[in-house]
Chain A
Amino acid sequence: MRNRVDVAELEAAWRWVLRLRDEQATQDDLTEWLRWYQAEERNRVAFEEMQSFWHECGKLIDDEPASVAALLAGRAIDDRRASATEKVAAPLARAGCKLVDRHCDVGMAGERSIGPGRVSPPLKFGKRRCRMAPRSIWPPGRR
């Protein structure tokens, strides 16, 4: 896939994919495409490859509709930044959760998992308020 000929074939195939997708494509278009498609095996392979690419693209909107909206608005989703943030934030958040669990009387509800792209744990506090131990007895257990 690194030479000019292949790119030329891919381009021709891609043009055909776009042309045939048009509901206004005429019988002449079809006849012309058929002639091109059946002329050479390379044409057939290129066409099927570009058509497969078309279908692969569809997965982006199925799996990541938000990223399509962001791209349309011209915003990138910066994966490197998100993953770097995640690397730092995740252990800190977990440590925070442990601390809270150990030293505070807090009613927690739900999971505290840290999924990809999240920069903080989705903590959900119950009705009871967090009661930190008084300073005089800090750290707890040394009363």
Chain B
Amino acid sequence: MSPDYQLTSIVESATPSADDARIQTVQHLIQLHHRALHAFLMTRVRDSQEAKEVAQEAYVQLLQLDRPDAIGFLRAYLFKTAANIAINRAKQRRVRGALDRLDDPEPPVDWLSPDRHVLGRQQLWLLRRALFELPPNCRRAFILYRFKEWNQEQIASELGVNERMVRHYLVRAGLYCKLRVRGCTPAEAKAQIKEQRQ
């Protein structure tokens, strides 16, 4: 993933009086951390396109920063800024989503090609099977966390366990489902996780 396209547009958007040294520092920072920033943002946003947009916005904010500080500070600032932008976008999306649902009761159109559709259906089928194969609490924890967007504290309270246990459920559920989706049988997936624990 090349960050070139960001560099061009950011340099263009900087004010003419911007310090060249600072631009170079930021460029260096982007080159060093672009992939990491994208990966980090993917945990917070909906898709790769949105991650790119958030990163772009964070780079612009970084360039507008008055303090020409050490790269360590700039890196922390970059990630923090990007995280905040992602959080704000998620909030806006939730509000917009609720309004859209009120406005438009039509189901979304599926533009996937037939082969990708079939592949997607198979993966979803496997995922559904994998989730059903999990122990009840483990399954509930994962579903509440992933699909209902509950936090770990809420799940702990719902299941009557502590947060550490919830984390354990989430790790186990995610790993098991991932292995199943990748083609392991239930026995293989369980064995690999068990082996890993030992």
Contact = CB atoms under 8 A, between A and B. Distances in A.
Please classify how large the interface on chain B is, using the bins under 10, 10 to 19, 20 to 34, 35 or more.
Answer: 35 or more
Contact of A8 (B42, B131, B183, B196): B196
A20 B192 contact: no
Given A67-B128, A71-B131, A60 B147 contact: yes
Interface string A42-66: 0010011111111111111111100
Nearest to A116: B121
B170 A23 contact: no
Interface in A8-28: 8, 10-11, 14-15, 17-18, 20-23, 25, 27
A18 B196 contact: no
A60 B43 contact: no
A18 B93 CA distance: 21
Contacts of A54: 43, 146, 174
A30 interface: yes
Interface in B143-163: 143-144, 146-147, 151-152
B contacts with A: majority SS = helix
A141 to B, nearest CB: 43
A23 B192 contact: no
Interface string B37-75: 001101110110000000000000000000000000001
Nearest to A63: B124
Contacts of B195: 4, 7
Interface hub of B120, B175, B179, B184 (most chain A Cβ within 10 A): B175
A33 B182 contact: no
B181 interface: yes
Contacts of A44: 35, 39
Contacts, number: 120
Contact of A48 (B39, B76, B146, B152): B39
B128 A53 contact: no
A48 B132 CA distance: 25
B182 A37 contact: no
A99 B181 CA distance: 45
A14 B127 contact: no
A64 B128 contact: yes
A53 B36 contact: no
A38 interface: yes
Contact of B139 (A14, A55, A67, A71): A71
Contact of A7 (B36, B175, B177): B175
A72 B140 contact: yes
B25 interface: no
A67 B140 CA distance: 13
Interface string B167-198: 10011001101110111100010001101100
A33 B36 CA distance: 9
Interface of A: 1-2, 4, 7-8, 10-11, 14-15, 17-18, 20-23, 25, 27, 30-31, 33-34, 37-38, 44, 47-64, 67-68, 71-72, 74, 76-77, 79
5 contacts: A17-B174, A18-B171, A34-B33, A34-B75, A48-B42
